[in-house]
């Protein structure tokens, strides 16, 4: 229990560190990369971006204003946690097909080959295998117990499976709330940048009765850039969140199926 709590605390600290570092990196990119004088005419950040090369795009994004580094920070967070979740879920899936693994364990149980089934779990090394191994270990223990009644043995196996499941599921689902939150926040941040940009644009139109073309173009550019960054970041967060939840649902189904297989096999084979 203490180990599980320590792991949870570390995960929370890790998430906050990643978020903080992402915004620091985003600010550095905005100031030193996008805001490099080489990206603007005559090296002046108040001028338009240069006309050619990647510097043109860097300068254009920099013109998006102070909301841009916030959106870049959110994008970096999405990319970081996407990479982290991919590694975690691939590791949780283990080696080989989960459905084939479950069927193989069922075959071993029907043949009363408990030790071989446990060895298969050790080789598979996924979340389903971890839960099934805990259940099989308790299955073996209850099979050797000549004192407890059958219903108590089944309950003991079910409890062991539930405890193992409660340790695996949080590991699969952690940090998904970050992606789901950013999917909404990024859009709102983009809209905020759009509003700020449009305010500047209309202020330029009202300037002394004669529109200031530079201020007008800057305001429109800021509005459109923030909209694009916000929508793009939000779309990526939504897509990855749905991909991960789909994979987690498959693993959860495998875990539930493995627990059901173990308990029902024990109930059928023991009097």
Distances in Å between the Cα of 98 and the Cα atoms of 58, 94, 154, 249, 260 are: 46, 8, 24, 12, 15
pLDDT per residue as tens digits for the range 206-263: 765 555 666 666 667 777 889 999 999 999 999 999 999 999 999 999 888 888 889 8
Count of structural domains within the chain: 1
SS3 257: helix
57 in any annotated domain: no
Question: pTM above the 0.75 mark?
Answer: yes
Q: How far apart are CA 166 and CA 93, in angstroms?
A: 17
pLDDT for the residue 231: 94
* Whether residue 9 has pLDDT greater than 70: no
8 in any annotated domain: no
Domain that holds residue 150: 66-271
186-201 residues labelled b (16+ CB within 10 A) or e (exposed):
bbebbbebbebbeebb
pLDDT per residue as tens digits for the range 41-69: 899 888 888 888 899 889 889 988 889 99
pLDDT for the residue 216: 67
Mean pLDDT of 170-182: 90
pLDDT for the residue 209: 59
pLDDT for the residue 212: 61
45 in any annotated domain: no
Phi, psi of 270 (to 5 degrees): -125, 140
203 in any annotated domain: yes
99 in any annotated domain: yes
* Whether residue 87 has pLDDT greater than 50: yes
139 in any annotated domain: yes
pLDDT band at 119 (very low <50, low <70, confident <90, very high): very high
154 in any annotated domain: yes
More reliable by pLDDT, 107 or 270? 107
Mean pLDDT of 20-32: 96
142 in any annotated domain: yes
pLDDT for the residue 12: 72
Contacts 24+ apart (CB under 8 A), 232-235: 232/75, 233/71, 233/74, 233/75, 233/78, 233/182, 233/186, 233/190, 234/182, 234/183, 234/184, 234/186, 234/187, 234/190
């Amino acid at each position: 229990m203490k180990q599980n709590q320590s792991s949870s605390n570390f995960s929370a600290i890790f998430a906050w560190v990643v978020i903080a570092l992402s915004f620091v990196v985003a600010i550095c990119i905005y100031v030193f990369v996008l805001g490099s004088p080489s990206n603007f005419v005559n090296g002046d950040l108040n001028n338009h971006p240069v006309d050619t090369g990647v510097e043109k795009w860097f300068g254009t994004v920099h013109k998006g204003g102070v909301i841009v580094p916030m959106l870049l920070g959110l994008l970096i967070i999405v990319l970081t946690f996407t990479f982290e979740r991919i590694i975690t879920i691939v590791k949780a899936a283990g080696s080989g097909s989960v459905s084939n693994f479950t069927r193989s364990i069922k075959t071993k149980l029907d043949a009363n080959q408990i030790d071989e089934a446990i060895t298969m779990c050790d080789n598979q090394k996924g979340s389903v295998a971890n839960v099934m191994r805990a259940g099989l270990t308790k299955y073996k223990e209850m099979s050797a117990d000549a004192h407890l009644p059958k219903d108590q043995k089944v309950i003991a196996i079910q409890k062991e499976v539930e405890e193992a499941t409660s340790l695996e599921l949080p590991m699969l689902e952690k940090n998904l709330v970050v992606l789901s939150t950013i999917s909404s926040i990024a859009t709102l941040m983009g809209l905020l940048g759009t509003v700020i940009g449009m305010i500047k644009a209309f202020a330029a139109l009202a300037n002394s009765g004669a529109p200031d073309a530079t201020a007008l173009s800057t305001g429109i550019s800021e509005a459109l850039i923030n909209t694009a960054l916000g929508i793009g970041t939000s779309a990526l967060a939504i897509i990855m969140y749905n991909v991960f939840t789909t994979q987690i649902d498959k693993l959860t189904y495998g875990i539930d199926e493995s627990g059901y297989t173990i308990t029902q096999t024990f109930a059928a084979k023991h009097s």
